[in-house]
Amino acid sequence: MKFPIYIDNNSTTPIDPKVLEVMMPYLTDKFGNAASKSHRFGIEAEAAVEHSREQIAKFINSEPGEIIFTSGATESNNLALKGIAEMYSKKGNLIITSPTEHKAILDPCKYLEKHGFEVAYLKVDEYGSVNPEDLRNAINDKTILVSLMIANNEIGTINDIKEIGKICKEKEVLFHTDGTQAVGKIPVNVNDMHIDLMSFSAHKLYGPKGIGALFIRSKNPRVRLVEQINGGGHEKGIRSGTLNVPGIVGFGKACSICSEIMEDESKRLVFHRDRMINRLLENIDHCYLNGHPQKRIPGNLNMSFQFVDSEGLMMEVKEIAVSSGSACTSATLETSYVIKAIGKGEEFARSSIRFGLGRFNTLEEVDYVIDRITIAVNKLRKQSPLYELFLEDRKS
C-alpha cells in the first residue's frame, strides 16, 4: 500500500492515466486556439473540441449542440440560475431549491434574493431526500425555475430526479439539476429524467480540473438564458472565453471511459462502500450513517462518530485523506449545514466524516481504513470527558 491513502473522491478524483494520455498532445504540439479557424492549428483544436462534445453528449443522451463548456460546475450553476432568472424575469420571480444543495447553488440563490427574486427552500427528510409532492405543491404561476441536485455531495443521497423532472414538465416549469456528483457514477439520461439544464464537471469523473459543462435543452422546450460572461461570443454566445482544449479533450475521454466501465465499477464500489459501512457500525458503538442506506451514490459514505470531533479524528489519521464535508466549505469552521438540515443536530454535524471511495481504491486500502478509524475513534473517546460522563450515566 502507498501512503497517504486517498479516500476523498467526492472532493476530486485523480486523472485517469488514459485521460492524461489523450490530453498531452494538446498541451504540447497541438496547442491551437479552437476559435482560430484560418489555419491548421486552430482547425485541429476545433475538431478535438467537437469530438469531445459528441462524447459528452452521448454519455448523457443529449445533442452535441446542447453542451456548453464552462470552467466547472460552479460556473455552470451560476450561469444556469442567473441566466434563467434574467431571461424569464417578466414571467415570474420564484426559484425553488432545497437547503442541502451545494454552495454553488445556495450562494447564487442568495445573490438573486438580493436582486428581487424569491427562493423557496423545500424541506428534506431524514435521509436528505426531497418529497416530489412537496415540489408539486410549491410550484405556482410565478415559478420560473426548479433547481434540485441529483445526488448530494456530502451524504450521497440520490433524489427521485425522474419524478421531479416529470412534475416540472407537467407544470411547464424549467428544471435545472446539479449533476456534479452523479454523472460518471450512476446512469444519467437528461431526456428520461426530463432535465432542462444540468451542471457537471470533469474532475469528479477522473478528468482534469478547470473544465465543466452546462447541458441546455434545445427543444421541447427550447431553453434560453442570458449569458453571464461577455467577450467574443464563444459557445454560441452563451459563454465567452478561449476554450480549454486540453481540458475538454480530457473531459470527453473521461466520459467515454465511464460509459464503458461504470456498471462494473459501481458494483465494486458498492461492495467496498457497504463493507466499510457494515464493519464500522459493527466495530464502533454510537456510530451512525448519514444519508439513505441504499439510494446513494456508489462510493460515498458519511458517518458520525458520537463523542469524537471530526477535525480531531482527521488529525489522528493523517495517513488517510478524508473530509468532514464539502471541499468548497472546508476552509470555514462552520459545521455541515447538510447534516443539520436532515435533523441530526450540531453534535452529529461536528462528528461527521465523509469517505469517498473511487476507481483506484483497493480492498486492502478499504480494510486498512476500517481498522485505522476504529482504533482512532476508540483512542479519542478515551480522552473525551463527554464520553466518560456518558459511560458513568449508563452505569448509574
Reduce the DSSP state of residue 70 to 3 states and report it: strand
DSSP state of 4: S
Instruction: Please report the pLDDT score of residue 332 as a whole number.
Output: 55
Assess whether 328 carries a catalytic annotation.
yes
State what percent of residues in the chain have pLDDT above 90.
94
Q: What is the pLDDT of residues 117-173, one digit of tens each?
A: 999 999 999 999 999 999 999 999 999 999 999 999 999 999 999 999 999 999 999
- Domains assigned to the chain: 5-11+262-395 (3.90.1150.10), 17-257 (3.40.640.10)
Q: Which residues of the chain have pLDDT under 50?
A: 330
Amino acid at 339: I
Rounded to an integer, what distance in angstroms lies between the CA atom of residue 307 and that of residue 383? 10
Whole-model pTM: value is 0.97
Instruction: Please report the pLDDT score of residue 326 as a whole number.
Output: 56
Residues 95/100/104/106 CA torsion (nearest 10 deg)? 40
Task: Quickly list DSSP for 164-181.
Answer: HHHHHHHTT-EEEEE-TT
The torsion angles phi and psi of 65, rounded to 5 degrees, stand at: -70, -10
Instruction: Please report the pLDDT score of residue 189 as a whole number.
Output: 98
From the list 255, 258, 287, 328, the catalytic residue is: 328
Residues 102, 62, 159, CA angle at the centre, nearest 5°? 35
Long-range contact list for 216-219, CB < 8 A, 24+ apart?
A: 216/66, 216/68, 217/62, 217/66, 217/190, 218/63, 218/65, 218/66
Rounded to an integer, what distance in angstroms lies between the CA atom of residue 51 and that of residue 74? 24
Which cell numbers hold the place of 141?
A: 404561476
Instruction: Please report the pLDDT score of residue 389 as a whole number.
Output: 87
Residues 192, 259, 219, CA angle at the centre, nearest 5°? 35
Instruction: Please report the pLDDT score of residue 331 as a whole number.
Output: 53
Q: Tell me which residue has cell 454566445.
A: 237
